[in-house]
Amino acid sequence: MKLAAPPTLGSRFVAALPGDAEKENRSRQVSNALYTPVLPEAVSDPRLLMLSPTLSAELGLDEAFCQSDSFARLMSGNELFPGVVPFATRYGGHQFGHWAGQLGDGRAINLGELVARDGRFMNLQLKGAGPTPYSRGADGRAVLRSSAREFLCSEAMHFLGVPTTRALSLVLTGDQVVRDMFYDGNPQKEPGAIVCRVAPSFTRFGHFQLCAYWGELDLLRLLIHQCIRDDFPHLGAPTIDSGKDLSRDLMLRWFEEICQSTARMIVHWMCLGFVHGVMNTDNMSVLGLTIDYGPYGWLDHFDPEWTPNTTDAQTRRYRYAEQPDIALWNLYQLANALLPVLEDVPSVEKILQAFPLFYENEWFNRMGEKLGLEDRSGDEGRALIRDLVGLLTLRETDMTLFFRALADLPLMGDVGQDIAVLQHTFYGSEPVEGEHLEQLSGWLQRYEARVKQEAQSPAQRHERMNRVNPWFILRNYLVQEALDRVQEVGDFSGLHALHAVLQSPYAEHKDFPGFHRKRPDWARHRAGASMLSCSS
Ligand code: AMP
Ligand code: MG
């Protein structure tokens, strides 16, 4: 049934866990509580700029209601859904490898959850809705530039098949927000915006870490129980008010699931060339969802050393190739936080030690799919995949275009023909030559031989490959161009075009040829089009 009016929201997180006794909304340290009730601060003139039509339908929201003024007010926090007691949650985290203490929802205000059409609980959260006790003196706001990037990318990831938080709406606030985008003492006014993020749960590694850090073990135990019970219902945990404790086995199975879903998420990122840019433990979801889209980016040419984050340019901690290791490092930090309750070091270590092999198997499997291999278990296929990764770094090669073009190779015993099909995926105009030519030719011969061992027809292979190698990815420079048009002439059509195309990234969009091209030269070093700062 479609809802014509705002649905009533509740929160199992708030119902199960203790909140902050102090009510005052000022930046401060909060103890022995997992959230603080806090109201969004009204904005001047909320206007809906973008809506996710598929998500609003999944949430059972009526189309006409989503176009109403009331919806724009709800999505900015100027009006509240029935039943809502808005709150900001308390978490900590390791930032760039160092413990940072309390962080928390500094500008995200949770509205609570509703039951979606498929029966799942979905939480709604307004990012940029005003300051909270966790704002650490900052303004609690977000600018259009970063909010549009978050809205578009979380939706893009969803349609690519990557586990992610989603974005229901992007609202312009009508207010200006001051940001020093390049951290060079040049603050500017920018239009403010609010994204409504949606996820089954927003619980992060950092929620557990902060309880453990302060030795709040009863709170930690309760949070673990609430998380398993509500966010992992298939594990069949007893209800909290049953008075029954969780068994150690159940908690270990839960931790193992977190490790595995984290590994799967990273495999998706790696196989699509996504670089998160800020894999701090406060930006890691227990559900293995991609969360907190800040200075993220997509590989244009395949460069394992690339990071999109200017703050990370020196140490490159969060570079593309490092993401699996960082994920494991983050899981170790989560494990340390959980151990006072799990109390079983050998079992926890065993689960963590299984991560690299689990990750590797998942990665080989997905890479094998990208190559269109039906049988992905053998050593020969694995060697092909491994060698391809090396090959892609011999000359600047566009990752997305290359994998998409693989499906179009004739593979008729003429390597020259195959290379001609790949030529447009290489940066620079020179022909393939030297070491690169030698390696690529050898690899193509092996690939052809391997493909011919399989029963599937070329048409079947082509179709399979086009389901895993996207035609479109949300390249940084494309978003930057669309944002430039907004800033220069107030034209939002570029953002809408991206939003339209990203909803079917595996299809060819012949009417948008510019969306399936290598990064142009001008974008190589331009801020926003290649690297981004954390300013948002
Ligand atoms: P992030 O780097 O976006 O993951 O944010 C790290 C921490 O800073 C989180 O606790 C955020 O809530 C907080 N934060 C970032 N920007 C703001 C802002 N403009 N106002 C308040 N808190 C912020
Ligand atoms: Mg964050």
Helix (H, G, I), strand (E, B) or coil at 178: strand
> Which atom in ligand 1 lies closest to the alpha carbon of residue 108?
12
Euclidean distance between CA atoms 485 and 402, whole angstroms: 29
Q: Per residue in 471-505, pLDDT tens?
A: 999 999 999 999 999 999 999 999 999 999 999 99
Query: Can you give the pLDDT at residue 530?
Result: 79
Name the domain boundary from 305, 339, 363. 363
255 shares a domain with 393: no
Strands 92-95 and 98-102: antiparallel
Q: For residue 372, list its beta bridge partners.
A: none
Confidence band, pLDDT 50/70/90 cuts, at residue 529: confident
In a domain, 505, yes or no: yes
107 C-alpha to ligand 1 centroid (Å): 6
Please report, rounded to a whole number, the percentage of residues in the chain having pLDDT higher than 70.
99
In a domain, 2, yes or no: no
Mean pLDDT of 383-394: 97
Euclidean distance between CA atoms 167 and 303, whole angstroms: 29
Query: Can you give the pLDDT at residue 181?
Result: 84
> Which atom in ligand 1 lies closest to the alpha carbon of residue 292?
4
Q: Looking at the annotation, which residues are catalytic?
A: 282
Q: Per residue in 257-302, pLDDT tens?
A: 999 999 999 999 999 999 999 999 999 999 999 999 999 999 999 9
pTM recorded for the entire structure: 0.97
Number of H helices, E strands in the chain: 18, 11
Confidence band, pLDDT 50/70/90 cuts, at residue 111: very high
In 399-475, alpha helices (H):
399-406, 415-422, 434-452, 458-465
230 shares a domain with 329: yes
What is the residue range of 59's domain? 12-201
pLDDT at 3 over 60: no
181 shares a domain with 104: yes
Number of domains in the chain: 4
Q: Per residue in 215-237, pLDDT tens?
A: 999 999 999 999 999 999 999 99
Report which bound ligand comes closest to the CA of 165.
2
> Which atom in ligand 1 lies closest to the alpha carbon of residue 91?
10
138 shares a domain with 58: yes
- With contact defined as beta carbons under 8 Å apart, do 281 and 206 qualify? yes
177 shares a domain with 164: yes
In a domain, 4, yes or no: no
pLDDT at 456 over 80: yes
In a domain, 143, yes or no: yes
Q: What does the block give as tokens for 165? A: 């938080």
In a domain, 492, yes or no: yes
Q: Whose CA is nearest to atom 22 of ligand 1?
A: 106
Q: Whose CA is nearest to atom 18 of ligand 1?
A: 140
Query: Can you give the pLDDT at residue 1?
Result: 44
What letter would DSSP give residue 190?
E
Closest CA to 273 of 421, 474, 35, 23: 474
270 shares a domain with 238: yes
Burial letters 57-84, b for 16+ CB under 10 A, else e: ebbbbbeebbeeeebbbbbbbbbbbeeb
178 shares a domain with 36: yes
In a domain, 270, yes or no: yes
Burial letters 124-160, b for 16+ CB under 10 A, else e: bbbbbbbbbbbbeeebbbbbbbbbbbbbbbbbbbbbb
pLDDT at 214 over 60: yes
Average pLDDT of the chain is 96
213 shares a domain with 190: no
Query: Can you give the pLDDT at residue 184?
Result: 85
Mean pLDDT of 42-49: 98
Query: Can you give the pLDDT at residue 502?
Result: 98
Name the domain boundary from 153, 181, 201. 201
pLDDT at 406 over 60: yes
318 shares a domain with 182: no
Q: Which residue has the tokens 């447009």?
A: 424
103 C-alpha to ligand 2 centroid (Å): 8
Q: Whose CA is nearest to atom 7 of ligand 1?
A: 103
Please report, rounded to a whole number, the percentage of residues in the chain having pLDDT higher than 90.
92
Query: Can you give the pLDDT at residue 4?
Result: 64
Mean pLDDT of 242-251: 94
Mean pLDDT of 448-461: 94
Cα–Cα distance list, 305 to 317, 319, 322 (Å): 10, 6, 8
Name the domain boundary from 311, 340, 363. 363
Q: For residue 254, list its beta bridge partners.
A: none
506 shares a domain with 459: no
204 C-alpha to ligand 2 centroid (Å): 9
282 C-alpha to ligand 2 centroid (Å): 6
195 shares a domain with 236: no
In a domain, 429, yes or no: yes
Residues contacting 328, CB < 8 A, separation 6+: 352, 355, 356, 359
Query: Can you give the pLDDT at residue 5?
Result: 75
In a domain, 327, yes or no: yes
221 shares a domain with 353: yes
Q: Whose CA is nearest to atom 14 of ligand 1?
A: 106
Query: Can you give the pLDDT at residue 375?
Result: 86
Mean pLDDT of 342-348: 97
Q: Per residue in 84-104, pLDDT tens?
A: 999 999 999 999 999 999 999
